[in-house]
Amino acid sequence: MFRNRHSGGKFLLTICFDKHHIIIANSKGFTITHLFLGSMVGSCFYGLRLRRPKSKPLPEPPSSSKANLESDVDNTGRKRFDSMESWSMILDSMETWEASKEEEQEEWTADLSQLFIGNKFASGAHSRIYRGIYKQRAVAVKMVRIPSEDEERKVLLETQFNSEVALLSRLFHHNIVQFIAACKKPPVYCIITEYMSQGTLRMYLNKKEPYSLSIETILRLSLDISRGMEYLHSQGVIHRDLKSSNLLLNDEMRVKVADFGTSCLETRCRKSKGNSGTYRWMAPEMVKEKPYTRKVDVYSFGIVLWELTTALLPFQGMTPVQAAFAVAEKVK
């Protein structure tokens, strides 16, 4: 059932899509309340099926000289990225995506009419992760903002997105976060996965006293991680950024490996050099930009085991660069 009316410049919409779910929307800010009859779930959701008048085009990024570009991106661009107004405009643009008959759709392409985006619960330099509902299922929606003003960063983020989707869409294991769908249409790239309600392993450890985890808990969590990584390596994939904040926990406190943005097939990165990943968990050969293999994940797993044992952050008291130097120089 759809009921809508226009009053006082506001477009109001009520959607009842089955006997268990009610969506009540007000287009001002696209705030939507989602109710699950019988138990209250969710809070504010942003409906991708809503659209604003097309009278105002998306603003062009401010022009700046090459010398001032970096500061513009760090300041104005970041403020615009964090602005809910900018995100609501981006979400608006998703509604207008209509594939032509000639356009080939990937099998993983999300049906955006079935996607509702809720509260943000995590963020990165160029991405935001939201709770959501996709086809009446709780999901996590990772949305990546592709910067038009930085060509090098744009290419890097697009490459990472393509790699993550290509890998996740063919990985099936109970200790690997489940891929559901994705959408790709500049300026929005999104990846939809199962929702892991207990957050990251790092968040879990932050709430614990040092050395407080029982041996049984350490073994259970370690086995979950090792099984996920064993499967990943059996598929010829190197994660390259294994760390406690990329390990997620579900309601049953089972661990699943996540975030494959920097992962690669071993056959393609066998002779790779560089330091993709995070310094505190990075293997010495990657820090020194030497050729590496899947063994870099084994090193990172060892750091995670240390985290489980101590509940502490690796190289606490050091900056990431200092930690990398300590590893490279074998300073304890």
Q: What share of the chain is helix, strand, coil (3-state, %, to 5)?
A: 35, 25, 40
* Token pair 């022009």: residue: 63
Distance CA 248, CA 233 (A): 19
In whole angstroms, how far apart are CA 131 and each of 50, 143, 193?
Answer: 18, 11, 10
Task: Report strand pairing: 137-145 vs 179-185.
Answer: unpaired
| Cβ 45 vs Cβ 23: under 8 Å | yes
**Selected catalytic residue, list 150, 241, 259, 297:** 241
Distance CA 192, CA 176 (A): 14
Q: Which of 218, 217, 205 is nearest to 244 (CA)?
A: 205
Q: Which two tokens mark 82?
A: 């964090």
Active site (annotated) includes residue 241: yes
Three-state secondary-structure class, residue 315 = coil
| Cβ 130 vs Cβ 143: under 8 Å | yes
CA-angle at 262, arms to 107 and 186, nearest 5°: 50
Q: Which are the catalytic amino acids? A: 241
